[in-house]
């Protein structure tokens, strides 16, 4: 069974997922990396085709990933797709939380198209819209604001028994 990480941009899904996979000895899938391998840089997809098209290709990659026995880090907006929310029912889904003040320095220098003009205020507005969705899909949540990646990995393996 996969372990799936959800949460807002900069919460640490990609970094924690990578370390969690090493820790439990499972393959690691970052759905954004798969999108990039197949379709090119995310900011170019947004620029060329728009967010709606990005969500379609994201859904395709996410659906495929969720059938694999892996630690899976989703992009922050993947849960917007109803089919993905359906797929997440019954899976160990971890919501990585983070405060605006803790995430602000983590977002510096990133190339997330949704934050291209708006910064932390835009991030907060997006989170406000999505919070109920994260809440609905998650089986467990961790505030990453003042926790090391190693500690977050320990919390997750402790909660799910260290196995898949």
Ligand X SMILES: O=C(O)C1=C[C@@H](OP(=O)(O)O)[C@@H](O)[C@H](O)C1
Ligand Y SMILES: Nc1ncnc2c1ncn2[C@@H]1O[C@H](COP(=O)(O)OP(=O)(O)O)[C@@H](O)[C@H]1O
Contact pattern from residue 44 through residue 83 relative to ligand X, giving x for each residue in contact according to CB under 6 A and a dash for the rest: -------------------------------xxx------
> SS3 breakdown of the chain: % helix, strand, coil, rounded to 5?
60, 10, 30
CB atoms within 10 A of CB 27: 11
Is 113 a residue that touches ligand X (CB under 6 A)? yes
Is 14 a residue that touches Mg ion (CB under 5 A)? yes
Is 12 a residue that touches ligand X (CB under 6 A)? no
Q: How many residues bind ligand X (CB under 6 A)?
A: 11
- The DSSP H or E segment spanning 23 is helix 13-24
Contact pattern from residue 84 through residue 123 relative to ligand Y, giving x for each residue in contact according to CB under 6 A and a dash for the rest: ----------------------x-----------------
Do 3 and 20 touch, CB atoms closer than 8 A?
yes
Euclidean distance between CA atoms 95 and 124, whole angstroms: 16
Binding segment (CB under 6 A) for ligand Y, from list 39-47, 48-56, 141-149, 156-164: 141-149
Give the angle 98-103-109 at the CA atoms, nearest 5°.
Answer: 150
Alpha helices (H) in 66-148, listed in sequence order: 82-88, 100-107, 119-137
Is 157 a residue that touches Mg ion (CB under 5 A)? no
CB of 143 to ligand Y, least distance (A): 10
Binding residues for ATP: 10-15, 112, 147
Enumerate binding residues for ligand Y (CB under 6 A). Answer: 7, 9-15, 73, 106, 144, 147-149, 152
């Amino acid at each position: 069974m996969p372990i799936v990480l959800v949460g807002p941009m900069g919460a640490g899904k990609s970094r924690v997922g990578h370390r969690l996979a090493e820790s439990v000895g499972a393959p690691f899938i970052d759905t954004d990396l798969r999108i990039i391998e197949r379709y090119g840089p995310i900011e170019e997809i947004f620029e060329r085709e728009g967010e709606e098209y990005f969500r379609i290709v994201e859904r395709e990659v996410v659906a495929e990933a969720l059938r694999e026995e892996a630690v899976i880090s989703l992009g922050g907006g993947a849960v917007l797709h109803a089919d993905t929310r359906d797929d997440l029912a019954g899976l160990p889904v971890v919501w990585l939380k983070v405060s605006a003040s803790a995430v602000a320095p983590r977002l510096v220098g990133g190339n997330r198209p949704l934050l291209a003009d708006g910064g932390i205020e835009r991030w907060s507005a997006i989170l406000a819209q999505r919070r109920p969705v994260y809440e609905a899909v998650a089986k467990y949540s961790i505030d990453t604001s003042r926790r090391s990646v190693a500690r977050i990995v320990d919390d997750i393996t402790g909660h799910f028994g260290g196995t898949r």
